[in-house]
């Protein structure tokens, strides 16, 4: 990891914890706010620790993009939780010669960047 990339990752880590510190839930209830703050902190710790040994520059860039996207979406919608996509089990159209594996591959490719790590830790 280059020093510039390292600084960017550490900056994102600090930014997430600063957001958690100042977070207010949409409902305004103290219990909900505390629960969401704890979720933000735990999610950040889990994902950053999981990816601490990543050395591939493309994968590092993807993780940074995911983090930035989740921050922006969380702040915009005032919801700290990932916003899952709702695809029915066989929601993609069948074409002649396509197999179930191909359907699963297409579903994985179509997943938004902010949900790439969500299934792995949930």
The answer, as to whether pTM is greater than 0.75, is no
Closest CA to 40 of 6, 2, 73, 89: 73
Question: 47-103, pLDDT tens digit by residue?
Answer: 999 999 999 999 999 999 999 989 998 999 898 887 766 555 555 455 555 566 766
Q: According to the model, what pLDDT value does residue 117 have?
A: 72
- Domains of the chain, by residue range, sit at 3-115
Question: 35-50, pLDDT tens digit by residue?
Answer: 999 999 999 999 999 9
Closest CA to 62 of 111, 19, 106, 17: 111
């Amino acid at each position: 990891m280059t020093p510039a990339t390292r600084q960017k990752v550490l900056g994102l880590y600090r930014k997430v914890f600063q957001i958690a510190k100042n977070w207010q839930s949409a409902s305004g209830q103290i219990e909900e706010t505390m629960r969401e703050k704890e979720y933000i902190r735990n999610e950040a710790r889990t994902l950053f620790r999981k990816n601490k040994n990543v050395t591939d520059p493309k994968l590092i860039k993807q993780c940074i993009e995911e983090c930035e996207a989740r921050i922006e979406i969380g702040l915009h919608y005032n919801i700290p939780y990932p916003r899952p996509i709702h695809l029915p089990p066989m929601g993609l159209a069948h074409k002649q010669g396509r197999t179930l594996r191909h359907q699963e591959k297409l579903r994985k490719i179509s997943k938004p960047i902010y949900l790439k790590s969500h299934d792995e830790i949930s």
